[in-house]
Amino acid sequence: MSHFIIGTAGHIDHGKTALVKALTDIDTDRLKEEKERGITIDLGFAYWKEGITVIDVPGHERFIRNMVAGVSAIDYVLLVIAADDGIMPQTIEHLEILKLLHISSGAVVITKIDKADELRLKNLEIEIKNLISDSLLRTAPFFKVSSLQKTGIEELKRHLQNAAKQLLPKLDRGFFRMNIDRSFSVKGFGTILTGTVLSGTVRNDQWIELLPAKKAVRIRGLQKHSQSVEEIKIGDRAAINVSGIDNESTKRGNVLAEPGHMISTNSFFAKWYLLKSVKKTIEKPIRVRLHMGTAELFCKVHIVGESIQAGKSGYIRVVSEDPLVCIRGDRFIVREINSSMTLGGGIVLDHLYPEITPELPYLRLMENDSLPIAMREFINHHKIVSVTEIISVFGLSNSIISNELYKLEKLNQIVIVGEQGTALDVNYFSVLQKQLVNAVEKFHQERPTDQGLKISELRMKLATAMQGDVFDFVLKTMVRKGVLTEEKEIVYLSSHRIQINANERELIEKIKSKLAQTPFSPPSVEVIETEMKLPGSELQRLLRIMVQLELIVKTDKNLYFHADAVREARQFIIDFIGEKGHIKITDFKDRFHTSRKFALSLLEYFDAIQVTSRNGDHRDLLHP
C-alpha cells in the first residue's frame, strides 16, 4: 500500500490537534510556545499506523503559510469545524485554499459535539453542506466526534483506514523530488531534512541536489515512518540525513531532487483564479506573498492581458524576489502582502524564458491535460528547445520525455536533432532550412565567381538561429535533399555554376597556356603576375576560379599545375607502382624531366589526397 498522508484544516481552536491525538495517541504540538499558548503554530506530524501519517496544521490566520506548506502534498483532508463555534473565517479560507490546491479527497469532521445539542448539530451540518457545495469536497462524508470523550473516533479511524486502502496510485514523474518542510540538526548525525516524497525513489549513499542553491548532497541515512530504511519512494513521509551542507543553509521551501531534472527560476507564467471574496479587479502589477509547495516568497504578479475580475481566472507572470523551484502543473496560493487575505491561486504553465511574454492562446493550450498536446505546443511556441529544458519545465524523467518526443516525431509534428537531444517545431525546421539556403544564395549573388563558401563561415552567419548539432542537421538535410552540395569544407547550391565574363575567360585561357607550356615545371605566381602584368589580387582571384573549375591544381602555396599534367602524373604513378611496387622521386623526375622541387610538390599532393603514402625514400600506392 502507498503511504497515505492525511492533513487537517480548519479554524484555530476547533480541535484539530486534539483530534489527531485521539486518532494516533500522538501530541503534534512539539514547540514550547505551542504548549504555553495552547495553539498550533507550526506543522505537526503523527505517524499513525503503518503507511499512514497525519499532518496537523495551524488554524490561526498568522500561520496560513504553515498551513499551506502542510496541505500541499496530502492525499486526504479532514476539514475540522467545532460544533460550538461553527463556520469561522479560517474555515472558509482553509476551504478556499484546499479548492485552489485541487485537493478533492476528504471528510468533514464536526468536533466538540459534547458542547452542542442535536438541533445545533443538525443546523451546523446544513450550513457546512451549503459552504462546501461548490467545492471539491461537496460529496465528502461527515463525522461527528468528541476527541475528549472519544465519541465517534473509532468510526472515523475505520473510515480513514479504508480510504488508505483505496488510495489511487500517484503520478510518478520518474525522478526523485521532495519539498522540504523541516530542517534541523541532530548531534552526531548532522542535517536532517523532512518532507513528503512527491515523485521517484532514492536510496542510501545516493547523491541528490538541494535547490534552488543547486548544491550536491549525499544521503547518509533514510527514515520512513520513524524506521530506518534503505529506500524511500513516492508518497512516503521521509526524513533524510544528508552530508555536504549544514542546517543553516537549508530551510522550509527548499527542494531535494535527482540532479538534472529541476532548475531554479525567478519567474514563471501561470493560470490564476481570483477568489470571489476579493471583490475587486486586478489590472496593474501587485506585490504578493506566494505559497508554493512548502515555500513562501515575496513576488510581483503581472497580468497577461487586460485584467482579472473577482471570481474569474486569467493569466499572469509571477516574478519572485528570490529564486524558486517549480514545474508545469505545480499549484500555488497568492495572498496579500500585508494582510491576512487570500487572493487566489493557480497552476504553473511555463518558466522557460519568462522574460518573453507569450500570446494568450499558447498559455491556454499549456493548460491541456494531454501531455502530448502540451509538449507539442510548448515546442511550437519556443521553436527550438533542448530535452534538458523540456524536462525542467514538465518535471518528467528523460525516459518519459524522450518517449513522448519520439511519438511526436513519428507524427511529423517535431524534429529531434543530435545525441543530447534538441526538439524543433516542424514548421520552424522548415524556416531554418530556408534561412540556410538563403544565406548560400546571398553568397553566390555577392561572389558569383566563387564555387561556394566555407562551412565555418556559413555557421558564423547563422549562429543566432542555429548552433552545433542543429546547424549540422539542417545542413545535412539540405545536402540529402540535393539542394546544397558539400565538398572539401565548402558548401554551395547544387544548381550553382561559376559565372565568368568574356574578359575573365580570356585571362584564364592565357594562364592555362602558360602552365601548359612547361606542364611539369610551371612558372610561379610571381612570374605569371609579371608576364601578364596583372595585379596580384586579381591574379589570385582568377587562380581561385580556375581551381574551383578544376582547370588547374594547387599543390602548395605558390605552385599551380595544369589539370591535364596532374592527371597524366597520377596515371604514371599508378602504372609505375603497379609494375615496380613503389616509386621514388628520381623515378618521377626522370620520367617528366623536372626538378626535385616540382617532383616533390606533386608527390606530396598525391600523398595529401591519399593516392600514395610515403614510406622512407619511396612511396606506395594507397588508392588508384
Identify the CATH number of the domain defined by range 264-365: 2.40.30.10
The pLDDT confidence band at residue 2, using thresholds 50, 70 and 90, is low
Q: Is 615 helix (H, G, I), strand (E, B) or coil?
A: strand
The answer, yes or no, to whether residue 33 has pLDDT greater than 50, is no
Phi, psi of 597 (to 5 degrees): -55, -50
The whole-number average pLDDT for the span 48-62 is 67
The answer, yes or no, to whether residue 35 has pLDDT greater than 60, is no
Element counts in the chain: helices (H) and strands (E): 19, 32
257: left (phi over 0), alpha (psi -120 to 50) or beta: beta
The answer, yes or no, to whether residue 477 has pLDDT greater than 60, is yes
Paired residues of 329 in beta bridges = none
Q: CB count, 10 Å around CB of 318?
A: 27
Whether 473 and 418 have beta carbons less than 8 Å apart is answered as yes
DSSP string, 298-356: EEEEEEESS-B-TT-EEEEEEEEEEEEE--TT-EEEEEESSSS-EEEEEEEEE-SSTTS
The Cα-based distances of 276 to 134, 144, 308 in angstroms read 12, 30, 11
The residue ranking higher by pLDDT, 396 or 7, is: 396
The answer, yes or no, to whether residue 474 has pLDDT greater than 90, is yes
Identify the CATH number of the domain defined by range 177-257: 2.40.30.10
CA end-to-end span of the chain, whole Å?
73
pLDDT of 231: 94
The whole-number average pLDDT for the span 372-393 is 95
pLDDT of 37: 40
pLDDT of 31: 42
The whole-number average pLDDT for the span 506-533 is 91
What's the whole-number average pLDDT of the chain? 88
C-alpha cell recorded at residue 355: 522574460
pLDDT of 60: 43
Task: Please tell me the least confidently modeled range out of 280-284, 406-410, 413-417, 464-468.
Answer: 464-468
Q: CB count, 10 Å around CB of 466?
A: 23
* DSSP strand pairing (295-304 vs 286-292): antiparallel
Cα gap 551→537, rounded to integer Å? 19
The pLDDT confidence band at residue 29, using thresholds 50, 70 and 90, is low
The pLDDT confidence band at residue 65, using thresholds 50, 70 and 90, is low
Whether 90 and 9 have beta carbons less than 8 Å apart is answered as no
pLDDT of 64: 54
Please write down the HEC assignment for all residues of 20-31. Answer: HHHHHCCCCCCC
pLDDT of 152: 93
Could you report the per-residue pLDDT of 191-209, keeping only the tens digit for each? 999 888 999 999 999 999 9
Helices (H), 453-496: 455-461, 468-480
pLDDT of 624: 66
The residue ranking higher by pLDDT, 64 or 415, is: 415
Annotated domain spans of the chain: 4-165, 177-257, 264-365, 368-499, 504-624
Percent of the chain at pLDDT > 90 equals 59
Which amino acid would we find at residue 558?
N
Cα gap 466→385, rounded to integer Å? 11
Paired residues of 465 in beta bridges = none
Could you report the per-residue pLDDT of 139-151, keeping only the tens digit for each? 999 999 998 899 9
C-alpha cell recorded at residue 175: 525522478
Which amino acid would we find at residue 40?
T
pLDDT of 167: 82
pLDDT of 324: 95
* This prediction's pTM: 0.79
Cα gap 184→186, rounded to integer Å? 7
The answer, yes or no, to whether residue 161 has pLDDT greater than 80, is yes
Task: Please tell me the least confidently modeled range out of 12-16, 131-135, 153-157, 560-564.
Answer: 12-16
The pLDDT confidence band at residue 487, using thresholds 50, 70 and 90, is confident
The pLDDT confidence band at residue 259, using thresholds 50, 70 and 90, is very high
Cα gap 428→119, rounded to integer Å? 68
The residue ranking higher by pLDDT, 568 or 25, is: 568
**Is domain 4-165 given the CATH code 1.10.150.120 in the classification?**
no
Helices (H), 25-84: 32-37, 64-71
Cα gap 114→148, rounded to integer Å? 9
DSSP string, 510-543: HHHHHHHHSTTSPPPHHHHHHHHT--HHHHHHHH
Report the topology of domain 368-499: Arc Repressor Mutant, subunit A (1.10.10)
Give Cα 194 to chain centroid, integer Å.
26
Could you report the per-residue pLDDT of 309-350, keeping only the tens digit for each? 999 999 999 999 999 999 999 999 898 988 678 899 999 999
Residues 410-416: contacts with CB under 8 Å, at least 24 apart:
413/376, 414/376, 414/379, 415/473
C-alpha cell recorded at residue 424: 524543433
C-alpha cell recorded at residue 400: 518519459
C-alpha cell recorded at residue 64: 496560513
The answer, yes or no, to whether residue 41 has pLDDT greater than 50, is no
The residue ranking higher by pLDDT, 443 or 58, is: 443
The whole-number average pLDDT for the span 70-94 is 85
pLDDT of 467: 83
The whole-number average pLDDT for the span 450-457 is 88
pLDDT of 8: 86
The residue ranking higher by pLDDT, 226 or 532, is: 532
The pLDDT confidence band at residue 59, using thresholds 50, 70 and 90, is very low
Residues 6+ apart with CB under 8 A from 617: 584, 585
Fold: same for 368-499 and 504-624: yes
Q: Is 431 helix (H, G, I), strand (E, B) or coil?
A: helix
pLDDT of 69: 59
Identify the CATH number of the domain defined by range 504-624: 1.10.10.10
